[in-house]
Structure 1
Amino acid sequence: MADLERLSQIAMEIIAYSGVAKSTYIEAARLAREGNFEQAQEQILQGDEVLKTAHETHMQLLQKEAAENTPQVSMLVLHAEDQFMSCETIKVLVLEIIEIYKKLGKEA
């Protein structure tokens, strides 16, 4: 497989895994808003598994670049990096949102 093709494949995998993880985290926030905290936690765990796969794929990209000692930057790779980082940010925010919903539920 050509280098550019492999690089594009890795980037697309990161984008896809990050998107799935992001969706599960958002679903967790929705479930928490409805008071379904156990289901929300299950969604967080599912998202974590997918995010772990995205992280492993991201590491492949970094290792490939380090081994070749020739940084290859494309718009697709930049987009993959952006999606991966935004997913990590969303996870942190959703965890905080869930805690807020729990606290509000105790006060009601």
Structure 2
Amino acid sequence: MVNVEQIAGIAMTVITYSGVAKSCYVEAMRKIKSGNKEEFEAEMKKGDENFVLAHHAHLEILNREMTTAEPQITMLLAHAEDQLMSAETIKTIVIEMESIIEEVRGKNKDE
């Protein structure tokens, strides 16, 4: 039988770590905009570390669902999924923005 309290606790873990990861990725974008490559890399690393923790918690929920054969989707779990995916999306955008910013900076130096 599915333990709703445990699922809720794991979902909150996913939400927490995903939220921190998103914040780190956004902060990384601010750092690269201001030209601070070292701080950009540090924020990205911190974001990645939190994303991995969120992902591990997410896998725990999936494994529990597989072993109990009782799928149960709650609004909290749906929110956790949303947070995890948006963190991944923001990371992808920040990586692309970083390359664009670096390219523009390079062109401006040449002028």
TM range, smaller chain = over 0.9
Counterpart in the other structure of 1:99: 99
1:59 and 1:7 map into 2 onto residues whose CA distance is 12
Aligned residue number for residue 7 of structure 1: 7
Q: How does 1:25-104 map onto structure 2 within 5 Å?
A: 25-104=25-104
1:61 and 1:13 map into 2 onto residues whose CA distance is 11
Tell me whether 1:16 sits opposite 2:16 in the alignment: yes
Question: For 2:72, what is the secondary structure of its paired residue?
Answer: coil
Which residue type is aligned with residue 84 of structure 1? L
Query: Aligned partners of 2:56, 2:73: CA distance in 1, in Å?
Result: 19
The one-character-per-residue Cα deviations of 1:8-54 (angstroms, maximum 9, x if unpaired) are: 00000100000000000000000000011121011111110110000
Q: In 1, Cα distance between the equivalents of 2:88 and 2:8?
A: 21
Q: Which contiguous aligned blocks of 4+ residues in structure 1 show a shift greater than 4 angstroms? A: none
CA RMSD of aligned residues (A): 0.9
What is the TM-score of this pair, normalised by structure 1?
Answer: 0.96
Provide the rounded CA distance (Å) in 2 between the counterparts of 1:92 and 1:33. 16
1:31–1:37 CA contact under 8 A, matched in 2: yes
Gaps of 5+ in 2: none
| Whole-angstrom distance in 1 between the partners of 2:92 and 2:57 | 21
Which structure has the larger Rg? 2
CA distance in 2 between partners of 1:45 and 1:87 (Å): 13
